[in-house]
Amino acid sequence: MANRLAGERSPYLLQHANNPVDWFPWGEEAFTKASREDKPIFLSIGYSTCHWCHVMEHESFEDAAVAAALNKDFVSIKVDREERPDIDRVYMTFVQATTGAGGWPLSAWLTPDLKPFFGGTYFPPTSRWGRPGFIEVLEKLASAWKNDRKSLLTSADDIVEHLRKATGSDGQEPDRAPVAGKGAIDVGVKAFVSTFDRRNGGFGGAPKFPRPSELIFLLDAFALNGDLEARYAAVETLRAMAIGGMRDHVGGGFHRYSVDAQWRVPHFEKMLYDQAQLVLAYLDAAQTTGDAFNSVIAEDTLDYVLSDLTSPDGGFYSAEDADSLPNHDSTEKREGSFYVWSAKEIDGLFGADAEVVRRRFGIEDNGNVAADPHGEFRGVNIPYIAQDIDDIAARTGRTGDEVMAVIGTVRQKLYDARAARPRPHLDDKVITAWNGLMIAAFARAARVLVDSPNRTRWRSAAERAASFVQSRLWDPSSKSLLRRYRDGEAKIAGFCEDYAYLIWGLVELFQAGGDKRWLDWAIALQARQTELFFDPLDGGWFSTTGADPTVLLRLKEDYDGAEPSAASVATRNLLVLSHITGDASYRSRAERALERYGPQIGKVARVMPFMMSNLVQWHGTPLEVTITGARDDARTIALEREVAKKHLPFAVVLFAEGAAPSAMVCSGSVCQLPTSDPAELGRQLDVASTPSRIILS
């Protein structure tokens, strides 16, 4: 029989609708039951494409004995962390503070008034891998609630008070400091360069996550200071990710992260926010280096999003799962089944050309997966770029042209063969924040990749998504955003990140297309975001409005993780809006936000790389490039091409319709003479944007 989750829209909650656990969604019905029956709450937080969430469901939540224990002694609540990041942040902060680690599924036990007293992440059904068994944990906590409740309640009160102080949620005004100088940028760069993996790319060891905020900061730092080590670390990391198994070489797009140091073995889920940010990073790298490799990867990723993560109405879906059925006769999903290949399959598909394909993608008879601690990928291959064209030609006795001809057929053949397999689950909810990131990526691509035949298509994709959000998730009467749309329902008041990311996307779209309505909406959203989330006491941004009393802590989040923090993106938006509009109040508020971190920010660059990128923006010389002309005029496009060649993180690019194509470069209050000559425009941009120094090491 279905439980209460059957009435929800969240794909994650619906996945648990037929569990024997008596699940509740987050809400008063569950809280009242816990109080009335004097039971603690078991809170489980995850998301629909989370591999270990699936594992814990299958092992524990589908098990009748585990369900009986939960139903007897606890009130069980399920939360989709993508719908309710506010709830997730509170209890993730608790779990990280008390265990030193975090992740999903998140498991927390709460008092009926929602204060946490015990928590962790994934628990196996019985003790193994150094983790206590879930059923044992339930028994001990049920006993403690009955026999030692006073100490549990005291502990819960102490923990919440400690978290309030540690997270700045206690309302105390912090000390103010001046905005950090340029020296903090050098300190931040060194923090990354010192941990850069020169053999494999990335920073530190396994697992490795694609954290585009880091790479954007390093490329911005090079644009300001000419730090060649910063550029090298960013560019080589992007290359390593693109040729490794973390990228889907058949269908495009990137998986969530790599479990090994070589970027070979991914955790196979695909998240919209990763695709968006990586496109932005590859576009920056394409401009910085002039290497078309980076633009090809950006284009390929955009193609994946258009093909597999775009709704018929233009909104962007959230994610694809890591797990799928190995074949249509299977009943149990496995991670990566959709993406891996046996050597036998490759030989059967390519016949006499199989050796070329094997060498290109690292296909081995017994599989190519070394980093496989649980034996999940025994005997299978994860494609990665193993050998270049010349190596393959030399080892197979074929010419380079012959090898290229074979490789040119590989992708479509593999794609068609893979299409016959059961697809992974698609999380088809539309999240406002993530759509904002993807709008920014499509719009930036339309501005940077001037000569691509897909340029108009990308601009259209950004506009359709913006229109989708505006028509379904924006209430103009209350000037408020909603966070999630799915199956005809828009729900959940928007969080700070929803406003920040969407503003970012709209400002990029304005610069890509020149339609002022997107700028006007961005300005309206910025005013509303400031009203709802800005804390003038310390210049920070709250993640939530504080209107929901069931969310214990009104947190400010500074960590730029898989997604940049709302505070970092909001600060970037303020700097750009100040530049576009000339309104000094935007820059003043950005200054207040940067003052919050003071001169020591460089020492924590690994924690907040996107805020460090804002510091680079603060110290950079602002440029304004205005291009006038007819949109499809070849002379106008030639001027756009000249601008697009250069990585100009301190510039805003404005377009105005006009009969005679021309461009004007302004720096501060000083403008160069307008020019219609692309070469002269390039010279002016070079003079205005050359780094102040070149740092060799």
| Global confidence as pTM | 0.96
Query: Are 71 and 148 within 8 A, CB to CB?
Result: no
Token pair 């889920």 is found at: 269
Task: Determine the Cα–Cα distance for residues 475 and 481; give it in Å rounded to an integer.
Answer: 6
pLDDT reading at 172 higher than 70: no
In the chain, the percentage of residues whose pLDDT exceeds 90 is 90
State the average pLDDT over residues 386-396. 97
State the average pLDDT over residues 585-590. 96
Going by pLDDT thresholds of 50, 70 and 90, the confidence category of residue 658 is confident
Output the six-digit token pair for 77: 């609540």
Instruction: Estimate the share of the chain in helix, then strand, then coil, as percent rounded to the nearest 5.
Output: 50, 15, 35
pLDDT reading at 693 higher than 60: no
Token pair 């939960």 is found at: 70
Predicted local distance difference test score (pLDDT) of residue 376:
81
pLDDT: which is higher, 452 or 687: 452
pLDDT reading at 696 higher than 60: no
Predicted local distance difference test score (pLDDT) of residue 697:
44
The type of residue at 138 is L
Predicted local distance difference test score (pLDDT) of residue 695:
59
* Helix residue spans in 244-380 (DSSP H): 272-289, 292-308, 343-350, 354-361
When mean pLDDT is compared across 129-133, 352-356, 641-645, 692-696, the lowest value belongs to 692-696
Output the six-digit token pair for 500: 């920040």
H/E stretch holding 97: helix 85-99
Neighbours of 382 (CB within 10 A): 25
Token pair 């006769």 is found at: 329
Q: How many Å is the maximal CA-CA distance in the chain? A: 83
In the chain, the percentage of residues whose pLDDT exceeds 70 is 98
Output the six-digit token pair for 123: 């628990």
Domains and their CATH numbers in the chain: 4-166 (3.40.30.10), 183-322+427-620 (1.50.10.20), 339-420 (no CATH), 624-689 (3.40.30)
Which pLDDT tens digit goes with each residue over 596-630?
A: 999 999 999 999 999 999 999 999 989 999 999 99
Cis before 105 (ω within 30): yes
- State in Å, rounded, how far the first CA of the chain is from the last one: 65
Task: Determine the Cα–Cα distance for residues 84 and 496; give it in Å rounded to an integer.
Answer: 12
Which pLDDT tens digit goes with each residue over 131-152?
A: 889 999 999 999 999 999 999 9
Predicted local distance difference test score (pLDDT) of residue 537:
85
Task: Determine the Cα–Cα distance for residues 425 and 422; give it in Å rounded to an integer.
Answer: 9
Predicted local distance difference test score (pLDDT) of residue 694:
59
Task: Determine the Cα–Cα distance for residues 530 and 159; give it in Å rounded to an integer.
Answer: 30
* Mean pLDDT, rounded, of the chain: 95
Bridge partner list, 177:
none
Going by pLDDT thresholds of 50, 70 and 90, the confidence category of residue 224 is very high
Counting beta carbons within 10 angstroms of the beta carbon of residue 407, is it exposed (0 to 12), middle (13 to 18) or buried (19 or more)?
A: middle
Q: Which of 595, 680, 688, 612 is nearest to 650 (CA)?
A: 688
Task: Determine the Cα–Cα distance for residues 59 and 57; give it in Å rounded to an integer.
Answer: 6
pLDDT reading at 110 higher than 80: yes
Task: Dump the DSSP string for 288-311.
Answer: HH--HHHHHHHHHHHHHHHHHSB-
Q: How is residue 552 annotated by DSSP? A: -
Question: How many residues belong to the chain?
Answer: 697
Which pLDDT tens digit goes with each residue over 423-447?
A: 999 999 999 999 999 999 999 999 9
Query: Are 409 and 356 within 8 A, CB to CB?
Result: no
Task: Show the CA angle centred on residue 290, arms to residues 676 and 266, nearest 5°.
Answer: 140
Query: Are 229 and 697 within 8 A, CB to CB?
Result: yes
